[in-house]
């Protein structure tokens, strides 16, 4: 039970990152590797607000969202928008995203060194004991906040005018354009929302797994694996795959080896690609 609970909390964060990736991929058609950089920037923003300014953890989380969101908007305006108009947008977008990721990581490393930092959180030291399951408040909080954000994203996509425009673009870009939905504006909103949530993910991870320049890489790869497993389109599939991966890693870390736990996601991917070369949940369509 203990292991299962840990896995679910971890899986919820994977699901959050996967939802961001899926939203951005759906609108921009770019697998946004640089999201890993924005998770990390969120972690750093949170760290400086909480540690250097001594403000409360929740303010740090908001600052993380704002910093990552800003970086996301800049990325879209300065890089992605231009690459979409090149002759081979798929290839260019891909490499452009890699460029952004490495550039973000290196800039942060040059500015703040590669030292590991701990984002202070009042919830990290509190341990909850519920029906024999022991867990830090921070871990529980991270899982819950992740799930709430995913739910909020879906509420936005279903319930608001802007969200419906975005869903239309996800379904059929050309069609949405024809009925007057601006693709540039939609892309900007998607990047803003996705990046803000990625920043929050960074601030949630900071107290548990420390803050350092490449902190986003592992979780980014897992988020990508999750959306690949889900066939790049299905958000429900992505969330299930994320929870499954979190649980699998948690069990692997307890019963097999902690060091190899980052490799389990890859094994997951290998098996899935062998069984279903085009993803596990390819039938369903994103955000219904």
**Dihedral angle, C-alpha 114, 115, 119, 120, nearest 10 °:** -170
Of 4 and 91, the one with the shorter C-beta distance to another protein is 91
Contacts of residues 163-171 at CB distance under 8 Å and 24 or more positions apart, as own/partner, are 166/23, 166/27, 166/190, 167/287, 169/26, 169/27, 170/26, 170/27, 170/286, 170/287, 171/285, 171/286
Strand ranges for the chain from DSSP E = 127-130, 133-136
Q: Residues 60, 203: contact at Cβ < 8 Å?
A: yes
Of 181 and 272, the one with the shorter C-beta distance to another protein is 272
User: Measured from the CB of residue 276, what is the shortest distance to another protein in angstroms?
Assistant: 9
Q: How many CA atoms lie within 13 A of 137 on its CB side?
A: 7
User: Measured from the CB of residue 230, what is the shortest distance to another protein in angstroms?
Assistant: 12
Evaluated on CA atoms 194, 195, 196, 197, the torsion sign reads positive
User: Measured from the CB of residue 149, what is the shortest distance to another protein in angstroms?
Assistant: 23
User: Measured from the CB of residue 80, what is the shortest distance to another protein in angstroms?
Assistant: 11
Residue 182 CA, distance from chain mean position = 25
Q: Binding residues for another protein, per CB under 8 A?
A: 31, 33, 79, 82-83, 86-88, 90-92, 94-96, 98-99, 102-103, 105-107, 109-110, 217-218, 221, 224-225, 228, 232, 257, 259-260, 262-263, 265-266, 269-270, 273-274, 277-279
Of 88 and 185, the one with the shorter C-beta distance to another protein is 88
**Structure tokens that stand for 143 in this block:** 């899982």
| CB burial readout 32-69, b (16+ within 10 A) else e | bbbbbbbbbbbbbbbbbbbbeeeeebeebbbbbbbbbb
User: Measured from the CB of residue 181, what is the shortest distance to another protein in angstroms?
Assistant: 24
Of 17 and 149, the one with the shorter C-beta distance to another protein is 17
User: Measured from the CB of residue 99, what is the shortest distance to another protein in angstroms?
Assistant: 4
C-alpha–C-alpha distance, residues 124 and 97, integer Å: 33
Of 59 and 78, the one with the shorter C-beta distance to another protein is 78
Name the residue with tokens 């499954």. Answer: 244
**Structure tokens that stand for 200 in this block:** 């929050």
User: Measured from the CB of residue 62, what is the shortest distance to another protein in angstroms?
Assistant: 29
Of 58 and 82, the one with the shorter C-beta distance to another protein is 82
Of 53 and 95, the one with the shorter C-beta distance to another protein is 95
């Amino acid at each position: 039970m203990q292991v299962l609970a840990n896995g679910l909390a971890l899986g919820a964060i994977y699901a959050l990152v996967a939802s961001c990736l899926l939203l951005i991929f759906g609108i921009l058609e770019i697998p946004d590797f640089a999201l890993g950089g924005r998770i990390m920037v969120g972690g750093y923003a949170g760290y400086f607000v909480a540690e250097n300014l001594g403000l409360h953890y929740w303010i740090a989380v908001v600052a993380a969202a704002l910093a990552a969101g800003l970086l996301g908007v800049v990325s879209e305006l300065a890089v992605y928008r231009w690459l979409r108009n090149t002759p081979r947008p798929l290839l260019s977008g891909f490499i452009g995203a890699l460029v952004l990721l490495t550039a973000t990581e290196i800039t942060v490393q040059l500015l703040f060194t590669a030292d590991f930092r701990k984002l202070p959180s009042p919830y990290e030291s509190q341990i909850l004991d519920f029906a024999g399951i022991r867990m830090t408040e921070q871990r529980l909080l991270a899982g819950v906040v992740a799930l709430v954000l995913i739910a909020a994203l879906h509420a936005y996509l279903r319930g608001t005018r802007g969200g419906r425009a975005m869903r239309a673009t996800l379904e059929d870009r050309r069609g949405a354009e024809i009925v007057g939905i601006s693709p540039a504006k939609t892309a900007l909103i998607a990047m803003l929302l996705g990046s803000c949530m990625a920043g929050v993910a960074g601030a949630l991870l900071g107290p548990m797994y420390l803050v350092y320049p490449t902190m986003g890489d592992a979780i980014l790869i897992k988020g990508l694996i999750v959306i690949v497993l889900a066939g790049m389109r299905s958000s429900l599939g992505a969330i299930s795959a994320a929870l499954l991966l979190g649980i699998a890693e948690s069990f692997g870390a307890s019963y097999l080896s902690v060091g190899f736990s980052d490799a389990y996601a890859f094994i997951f991917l290998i098996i899935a690609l062998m069984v279903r070369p085009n993803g596990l949940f390819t039938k369903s369509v994103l955000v219904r």
